[in-house]
Amino acid sequence: MKKQRIFLFITIAFLCVLLLAPSNKAAYSWDILAYDDGAPDLSITPAQTDSVAVKFSPPTHIFKISGMLIYLDPSNLADVRVAVLDSSKHVLMPFCNFSISGLPPYHIDFGALGPIMTPDNVSDFYIMVQWITAGAPTVYIDTSTNAGQSFRIISGTWQPYSDGNIMIRAQVEDIKAPEFDHVPMKFALAGESISISMEVLDEFGVNSVTLYYRKTSSNGTFSPISLTFSGGTQQAGIWYGTIPGENVTLQGIQYYLWATDIGGNSRYYGNATNPYNVTVNEAIPEIPMYVSILAIGISSCIALILLFILPKYKGEDTK
């Protein structure tokens, strides 16, 4: 009875751990990976043609800026001009006029202008907003968070806002496919399952990894296996999967991999026309453990017998 209780307790504890384990799925969506965050706390009233900019530092490498959100007081709407600059103040998107209406936040879609592709070596960029409508629009600013940096052009130089961050959120879209770090499996034993593991890297996060396999001589379709996330982070994690032993025959196995990231990009490692080949050999039967121990025991006994029966050397043989 006591043993049953202990078993029940262990089972419940195990299930609790499984349920409480963090999900391997992305905990964030692609459009809020880089933004000047937080709820607005204060408001400022920029003058006409006054420019403010928000500095973003998303993961490096190529990505796409597809739009932005801006908070303005709906009672005093102002049209804006928006430009995007890189950290060296080079213009990635020249000033464009946008009309805004309705209720905040106002979504400004850069899609109509074509996506803004940031260079591979640029880690910071600015979204600059200029008010072109007469009047005094109210812009909400955020003083409670540290993420992001806001700047204002004063006399041609960039000056950071001392009183908080302006509420402009940029949509930064991941356009780079995940990358594999995998040394392909070359050999396997017939009838034994093949475990395939790899590290998959992506600046924004890997969504899923799939293994496709088939028997080498079958020329049929590849069977998919969804790989399991087993450790690391979404940006650099270990994924693994197993090809069942019944499919591992002397014909050999072909496989390739496919990964998708949370931005919807995907990459193949190998492919259906050029898969990785696994040579399958017939396994030499393993010697059971008791035979090994028996052999050690027998050799030890022989040594002991020799120790007893051999005469002890006392003199020196000379001539």
Partner 1 sequence: MTDEKRDKFGERKVRLTSTGSKLIGYAFLVIAVILILEAIINILSAYGILPVGHIFIYLSGPSYIVEAIKGFFIITVLTTIAFGVIAIISTVGLLQEQEWAAGISLILMGLIAFSMICHLLINPGILGSLSLALEIAAFGISLCCSAYLAKNFKRYD
Residues that bind partner 1 (CB under 8 A): 181-189, 194-199, 238, 279, 281-284, 286-287, 289, 292-293, 295-296, 298-300, 302-304, 306-307, 310-314, 316-319
Q: DSSP letter string over 194-247? A: EEEEEEEE-SS-EEEEEEEEEETTT--PPEEEEPEEEEE-SSEEEEEEEE-GGG
User: By C-beta, is 11 or 230 nearer to partner 1?
Assistant: 230
Q: How far is the CB of 213 from partner 1 (least distance, A)?
A: 14
User: By C-beta, is 58 or 237 nearer to partner 1?
Assistant: 237
Q: How far is the CB of 46 from partner 1 (least distance, A)?
A: 51
Q: Can you tell me the distance from the alpha carbon of 300 to that of 305, in angstroms, rounded to the nearest whole number? A: 9
- The residue with tokens 């399958």 is 280
User: By C-beta, is 73 or 199 nearer to partner 1?
Assistant: 199
Q: How far is the CB of 66 from partner 1 (least distance, A)?
A: 33
Q: How far is the CB of 98 from partner 1 (least distance, A)?
A: 46
- Whether the CB-CB separation of 168 and 70 falls below 8 Å is answered with yes
User: By C-beta, is 156 or 315 nearer to partner 1?
Assistant: 315
Q: 63 has which bridge partners?
A: 174
- Whether the CB-CB separation of 267 and 282 falls below 8 Å is answered with no
Q: How far is the CB of 197 from partner 1 (least distance, A)?
A: 4
Q: DSSP letter string over 77-91? A: ---EEEEEEETT--E
Q: How far is the CB of 301 from partner 1 (least distance, A)?
A: 10
Q: Can you tell me the distance from the alpha carbon of 207 to that of 235, in angstroms, rounded to the nearest whole number? A: 10
Q: Can you tell me the distance from the alpha carbon of 54 to that of 139, in angstroms, rounded to the nearest whole number? A: 13
User: By C-beta, is 47 or 183 nearer to partner 1?
Assistant: 183
Give the strand pairing for 223-226 and 206-215. Answer: antiparallel
Q: Can you tell me the distance from the alpha carbon of 248 to that of 160, in angstroms, rounded to the nearest whole number? A: 62
Q: Can you tell me the distance from the alpha carbon of 99 to that of 132, in angstroms, rounded to the nearest whole number? A: 10
Q: Can you tell me the distance from the alpha carbon of 277 to that of 286, in angstroms, rounded to the nearest whole number? A: 25
Q: How far is the CB of 128 from partner 1 (least distance, A)?
A: 42
- Whether the CB-CB separation of 189 and 248 falls below 8 Å is answered with yes
DSSP 3: H
User: By C-beta, is 272 or 296 nearer to partner 1?
Assistant: 296
Q: How far is the CB of 181 from partner 1 (least distance, A)?
A: 5
User: By C-beta, is 27 or 304 nearer to partner 1?
Assistant: 304
User: By C-beta, is 114 or 311 nearer to partner 1?
Assistant: 311
